[in-house]
Amino acid sequence: MNEHLQRDLSQLDNLLEKVKEQGLEYLKNISNRDTSTQNVLKGKLNLSEGGLGTLETLKQFNERFEPIIVSTSGPRFWGYVTGGSTPASIVGDWLTTIYDQNSFATNGQGDISAIIELETIQLMLDLFELPTNFLGGFVTGATMSNFTCLAVARQWLGKELGKDFAKEGVSDNLNYLTATPHSSAIKSLSLLGIGSNNIIKVKTLEGNREAIDVIDLESKIIGLCGEPFVLISSGGTVNTVDFDDFVAIAKLKEKYNFWWHIDAAFGGFAVCSNTHKHLVKGWENADSITIDCHKWLNVPYESAVFFVKEQHKHLQVETFQNSNAPYLGNPLENFSYLNFLPENSRRLKALPVWFSLIAYGKKGYQEIVENCIILSNQFGYFIQESAHFELLAPVRLNTVCFTLKGKENQEKVNAYLTLLNDTGKVFMTPTIYNGQKKGN
Ligand SMILES: *Cc1c(COP(=O)(O)O)cnc(C)c1O
């Protein structure tokens, strides 16, 4: 055996202790760490014949990478929708690595990771106040969750047209209706062999809203003359956290034949707050829902769930089954996650989520979510009161969309943001809203 590997195995306690101490040091000082860096990485290491051993490798990491790692999970990193990691989720994540289960096995035979995952999905449904007629599973992020849901939706569309797309491939022009989809939904359609030319854009509400105009939606539906379609709706757009009216869409679903997908990657967490849960009212009527866990659930990357109505289980299995692997059994009889989602082998992604939900409960998440909402509102208030900035949309949840005051300053927004982010004191992301460059 390689001498380094042998030594590492014999001093594993020392190695893990060192990493624990370093991790604690990082987390203790995360508020002081810069949110961006100007330093560029110097040099590179080549693959050596005999290796360096873990202690020396840690030293190399600490010399070259560690000093320029920025505090993306710290309190002043406001870009994108970035979560941190709760203590319980760190524990769950460490154990996921230590136990190193392959999370696809079934019904307790061999390993129990699928059972942990199913239990965690029930906890998630509970947190989101969704009915138990949704089935769910874990994928790497909301992009893959959108992909998973839209893959099953595609199979549904095929069935409506008398085709089995999983077997025959995609043919036909398919109809996708949406108002303000997240870029990852478009990417998913592209991966699914459905070009963005198949998207029928529905109007948004008057007044620079990003939510769908349900009246225009209905007229577009009528224009389809009974053809089946998929509706991709928003449970929180990224610019202004605008929500489609789920109650109104649910009513349309009683009248027309369509697959309803909701991308609620972070907006779904509105349900944790008594003052904001009305935003997702009616979402339980959707066919599929995307939720990110590495955002507002505050578990480490990579973690998201999809929820798909149980009634579509056969479509899901048709889409994802490993039909040429007889040792995996009949996928409808023997439930297995590898016939249910894109990946086969997976780490036990559910465990950090399970730990965090069990450790902090509904109240814990209510506090996390409401605290963010309060701080966002406070920030929005400061922007509104400021002589230099302009608030562009009401603060609906956890995002503040604003710009520099004055038409003449609009060209300076990107330069301003770059300057601001270069300070390393705070980090925000630019966007285009209503055709104009903004800060977020
Ligand atoms: C973040 C986000 C996504 C993409 O999520 P990833 O976790 O980055 O894959 C999709 N939809 C919405 C609404 C998001 O906010």
Give the count of beta carbons closer than 10 Å to the beta carbon of residue 31: 10
DSSP 6: H
Substitution site in 138, 182, 186, 295 for ligand 1 pocket (most atoms within 8 Å of beta carbon): 182
How many Å lie between the centroid of ligand 1 and the Cα of residue 263? 8
Using a 10 angstrom Cβ sphere, with 0-12 exposed, 13-18 middle and 19 or more buried, the burial of residue 277 is: middle
Q: Which atom of ligand 1 is nearest to the CA of 294?
A: 7
Say how many Å lie between the CA of residue 328 and the centre of ligand 1.
Answer: 32
Atom of ligand 1 nearest to the CA of 234: 13
User: Would you call 438 helix, strand, or coil by DSSP?
Assistant: strand
Residue 269 C-alpha to ligand 1 middle, in angstroms? 13
Query: For ligand 1, what atom is nearest to the CA of residue 267?
Result: 13
Residue 266 alpha carbon to ligand 1 centre in Å: 8
Q: Which percentage of the chain shows pLDDT scores above 90?
A: 85
Residue 403, classed as helix, strand or coil, is strand
Nearest residue to 123 (alpha-carbon basis) of 339, 334, 355? 355
Q: What are the residues facing 178 on neighbouring strands?
A: 201, 232
Which residues have C-beta atoms less than 6 Å from ligand 1?
81, 141-143, 182, 184, 236, 238, 263, 265-266, 292, 304
- Taking only the tens of pLDDT, the chain with its 440 residues reads 899 999 999 999 999 999 999 999 999 999 999 999 988 887 889 999 999 999 999 999 999 999 999 999 999 999 989 999 999 999 999 999 999 998 765 555 567 899 999 999 999 999 999 999 999 999 999 999 999 999 999 999 999 999 999 999 998 789 999 999 999 999 999 999 998 889 999 999 999 899 999 999 999 999 999 999 999 999 999 999 999 999 999 999 999 999 999 999 999 999 999 999 999 999 999 999 999 999 999 999 999 999 999 999 999 999 999 876 666 667 777 788 989 999 999 999 999 999 999 999 999 999 999 999 999 999 999 999 999 999 999 999 999 999 999 999 999 999 999 999 999 999 999 988 877 656 66
Which of 269, 283, 300, 290 has the alpha carbon at shortest distance from 372?
269
Q: Ligand 1 atom 5: the closest Cα is on which residue?
A: 142
Query: Of all atoms in ligand 1, which is nearest to the CA of residue 235?
Result: 13
Best of 189, 238, 261 for a ligand 1 pocket test (most atoms within 8 Å of beta carbon): 238
pLDDT, tens only, 333-349: 778 898 999 999 999 99
Residues 6+ positions from 61 with CB-CB distance below 8 Å: none
Atom number of ligand 1 nearest to Cα 144: 9
How far is Cα 159 from Cα 167, in angstroms, rounded to an integer? 12
How, if at all, do strands 436-439 and 288-292 pair?
A: unpaired
39-96 confidence digits (pLDDT tens): 888 788 999 999 999 999 999 999 999 999 999 999 999 998 999 999 999 999 999 9
Give the CA distances from residue 203 to residues 178, 196, 227, 232, 437, in Å, rounded to whole numbers and listed in that order: 9, 17, 20, 13, 21
Mutation probe of ligand 1 site: the residue of 72, 233, 292 with most atoms within 8 A of C-beta: 292
Using alpha carbons, select from 273, 258, 293, 312 the residue that is nearest to residue 133: 312
Compute the distance between CA of residue 113 and CA of residue 106 in angstroms, rounded to an integer. Answer: 8
Tell me how far the alpha carbon of residue 86 is from its chain's centroid.
17
Closest CA to 419 of 402, 399, 398, 439: 439
Residue to mutate, 140, 184, 349, ligand 1, most ligand atoms under 8 Å from C-beta: 184
Ligand 1 centroid, distance to 431 Cα (angstroms)? 15
* pLDDT value at residue 109: 59
Ligand 1 centroid to Cα of residue 143, in Å, is: 6
- Reported as a single tens digit per residue, the pLDDT across 136-163 is 999 999 999 999 999 999 999 999 999 9
**Ligand 1 atom at minimum distance from 143 CA:** 9
Residue 227 one-letter amino acid: E
Nearest CA to ligand 1 atom 15: 265
Rounded CA separation 426/439 (Å): 12
- CA 61 to ligand 1 center in whole angstroms: 30
Distance 327 CA to ligand 1 centre (A): 35
Distance 25 CA to ligand 1 centre (A): 30
**Ligand 1 center–CA 10 separation, angstroms:** 42
Give the whole-angstrom CA distance, residue 148 versus residue 139. Answer: 9
The atom of ligand 1 lying closest to the CA of 236 is 13
The rounded Å distance from CA 296 to ligand 1 centre is: 11
Closest CA to 437 of 371, 390, 373: 390
Task: Please give the pLDDT value at position 180.
Answer: 96
CA 29 – ligand 1 centroid, Å: 28
pTM for the full predicted model: 0.96
**Among protein residues, the one whose CA lies closest to atom 13 of ligand 1:** 265
Angstrom distance (rounded) from CA 258 to CA 220: 13
d(CA 287, CA 279): 18
H or E segment to which residue 308 belongs: strand 304-309
Nearest C-alpha neighbor of 26 from the set 85, 105, 91: 85
